[in-house]
């Protein structure tokens, strides 16, 4: 397992060994744990999430889902989950911006498994930190659910 600190709000783990599995024997590919607007969220990408994705030969063809399309899908998903507040919008923009899109690959035997990691931020006026959210998408365009972690 490799652990990367992406920002102060996101921890991303990429499991590159086939032996790293969850209790259900499903390969764990990536994870984010983040705090957004005072609440903590968790997202896990499993091998089974990629089932049914389009076939892709990464040495010959472009990805079946472009980075720009993945960004548009991610913005719609985050707006659907968190809504849109007029105070977030700067210069009549969409309310959300994309700071980073990564095509993440990990080996699974003799083939690679691929998914997108999209970092989004609120477009808001003022100075200081801007809240961010990280979403994962499959190459088929499915958004991996971002689940709120309840504190006890």
pLDDT of 83: 74
151: confidence class by pLDDT, cuts 50, 70, 90: confident
Q: How many domains does the chain have?
A: 1
Q: Binning pLDDT at 50, 70 and 90, where does residue 21 land?
A: very low
Nearest-angstrom CA–CA distance, 34 and 149: 10
- Best mean pLDDT range from 19-33, 61-75, 90-104: 61-75
Burial class (CB in 10 A: 0-12, 13-18, 19+), 103: middle
* CA distance readout (Å), 145 to 94, 123, 152: 22, 22, 22
Residue 27's pLDDT is: 87
The confidence score (pLDDT) of residue 20 equals: 42
Residues 78, 135 contacting (CB under 8 angstroms) = yes
Is the predicted pLDDT of residue 8 greater than 50, yes or no?
no
Can you tell me whether residue 52 is helix, strand or coil?
coil
Q: Taking the model in full, what pTM does it have? A: 0.76
CB distance 132 to 9 below 8 Å: yes
Which tops the pLDDT comparison, 124 or 139?
139
Domain that holds residue 88: 2-148
Quick check: 118 and 134 in contact, CB under 8 A?
yes
Q: What is the pLDDT of residue 36?
A: 83
> Which pLDDT does position 88 carry in this prediction?
54
Q: Which residue has the higher pLDDT, 124 or 46?
A: 46
- Kindly state the average pLDDT of the residues 73-86: 83
Question: pLDDT value at position 10?
Answer: 36
In the predicted model, what is the mean pLDDT of the chain?
A: 78
């Amino acid at each position: 397992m490799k652990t990367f600190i992406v920002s102060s709000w996101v921890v991303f783990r990429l499991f590159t060994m086939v032996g790293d599995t969850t209790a259900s024997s499903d390969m764990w590919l990536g994870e984010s744990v983040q705090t957004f607007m005072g609440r903590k969220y968790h997202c896990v990408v499993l091998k089974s999430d990629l089932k049914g994705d389009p076939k892709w030969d990464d040495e010959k063809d472009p990805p079946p889902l472009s980075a720009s399309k993945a960004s548009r899908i991610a913005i719609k998903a985050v707006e659907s989950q968190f809504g849109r507040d007029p105070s977030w919008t700067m210069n009549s923009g969409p309310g959300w911006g994309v700071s980073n899109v990564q095509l993440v690959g990990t080996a699974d035997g003799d083939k690679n498994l691929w998914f997108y990691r999209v970092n989004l931020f609120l477009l808001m006026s003022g100075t200081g930190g801007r809240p961010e959210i990280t979403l994962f998408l499959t190459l088929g365009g499915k958004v991996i659910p971002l689940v709120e972690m309840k504190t006890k």
